[in-house]
């Protein structure tokens, strides 16, 4: 662990670099996976040495920009982060990136680089990995960029309507309202890449369609990118049905986490089965991401590590003994909110 303290010149510089309600501090923290503490005109950055070094360079760059133009925008912060982020994720291959309007989507890990390259080079891509590795976001970003370049005419977002361990009962509303909760992660990614009015216009003009997996039967989709999220919750027969919807100039992306299957016990998941059957066929890319590719909140990687190490859940009525994981990660090691840094909401 390393720590660096950056002293700011005055209150005005502090306000500019912190951003409204400290949004710029959170932006740097989440992008680079460091702990950022702000108080009394200072920014303290803690974490792995290479990440701390990049974050320090970001803040120094923002100070220089503020002194030139007396203001800082969210895009300035994004550009500063991009400037210190390795484009190829350490793979040594050619850079891959997606430019979407004023946004630049770049892979941040070697696994994400392989995934994005697979999206650009294959007609069918399977991406398997834990939560927080960017599986859904990169697929949606690639699809939106292809739509705006005129390479395809439509984006179709599909997700199995499987309840995650709960019985939700009857859902009111029309079909779109009923399946909206299941497709929320895909819609969140779209709203991050497009403004609300544009997204609404694309959906009303049928350029972007949301559909439950069960309603894909019998369709042939041409000149489209079809994205299935949570593919591990499709059965083997459903996956076969879905993959055979591919028409002329169509591309399919299937993402999922095979450690979080919500099918009935004993039911094989369609994602694992499809990868086993189809891996190695020309035109089909299979990308496996792991814990090192997690780019969500720094705690997500620790959570995934903890669940992978502890094995079976505690049976009802049994008292949990003190966990060695808890003792090896003291409370001070977890991100906390300090004065001047607004709390993050999940």
Task: Indicate if the pLDDT at residue 138 is higher than 50.
Answer: yes
Q: Residue 308: its pLDDT value, please?
A: 76
Task: Indicate if the pLDDT at residue 254 is higher than 50.
Answer: yes
Task: Indicate if the pLDDT at residue 244 is higher than 90.
Answer: yes
**Mean of per-residue pLDDT scores for the chain:** 80
pTM passes above 0.85: no
Residue 276's pLDDT band, with cuts at 50, 70 and 90, is very high
> How do residues 209-223 score in pLDDT, each as one tens digit?
988 888 898 999 999
Percentage of the chain beyond pLDDT 90 is 29
Cβ distance 113 to 242 under 8 Å?
Answer: no
Cβ distance 207 to 200 under 8 Å?
Answer: no
> How do residues 38-65 score in pLDDT, each as one tens digit?
888 888 899 888 888 888 989 888 888 8
> How do residues 145-178 score in pLDDT, each as one tens digit?
888 888 899 999 998 876 544 444 555 666 556 6
Q: Residue 286: its pLDDT value, please?
A: 96
């Amino acid at each position: 662990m390393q720590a660096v303290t950056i002293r700011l010149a005055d209150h005005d510089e502090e306000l500019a670099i912190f951003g409204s309600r400290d949004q710029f501090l959170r932006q740097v923290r989440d992008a680079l996976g460091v702990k950022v503490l702000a108080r009394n005109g200072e920014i303290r950055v803690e974490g792995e040495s290479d990440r701390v070094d990049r974050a320090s360079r970001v803040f120094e760059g923002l100070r220089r920009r503020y002194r030139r133009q007396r203001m800082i925008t969210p895009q300035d912060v994004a550009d500063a982060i991009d400037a210190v982020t390795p484009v190829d994720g350490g793979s040594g291959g050619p850079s891959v990136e997606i430019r979407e309007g004023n946004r630049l989507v770049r892979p941040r890990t070697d696994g994400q680089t392989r995934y994005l390259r697979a999206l650009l080079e294959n007609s069918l891509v399977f991406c398997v990995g834990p939560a927080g590795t960017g599986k859904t976001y990169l697929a949606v970003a690639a699809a939106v960029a292809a739509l705006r370049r005129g390479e395809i005419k439509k984006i179709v977002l599909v997700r199995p309507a499987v309840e995650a361990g709960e019985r939700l009962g009857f859902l009111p509303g029309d079909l779109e309202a009923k399946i909206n909760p299941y497709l929320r992660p895909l819609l969140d990614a779209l709203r991050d890449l497009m403004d609300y009015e544009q997204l609404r216009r694309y959906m009303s003009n049928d350029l972007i369609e949301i559909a439950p997996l069960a309603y894909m039967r019998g369709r042939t989709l041409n000149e489209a990118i079809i994205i299935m999220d949570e593919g591990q919750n499709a059965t083997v027969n459903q996956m076969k049905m879905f993959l055979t919807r591919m028409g002329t100039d169509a591309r399919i992306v299937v993402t999922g986490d095979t450690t979080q299957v919500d099918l009935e016990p004993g039911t094989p998941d369609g994602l694992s089965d499809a990868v086993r059957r189809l891996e190695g066929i020309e035109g089909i890319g299979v990308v496996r991401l792991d814990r090192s590719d997690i780019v969500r909140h720094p705690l997500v990687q620790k959570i995934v590590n903890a669940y992978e190490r502890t094995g079976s859940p505690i049976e009802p009525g049994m008292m949990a003994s003190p966990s060695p994981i808890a003792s090896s990660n003291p409370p001070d090691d977890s991100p906390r909110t300090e004065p001047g840094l607004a709390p993050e909401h999940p």
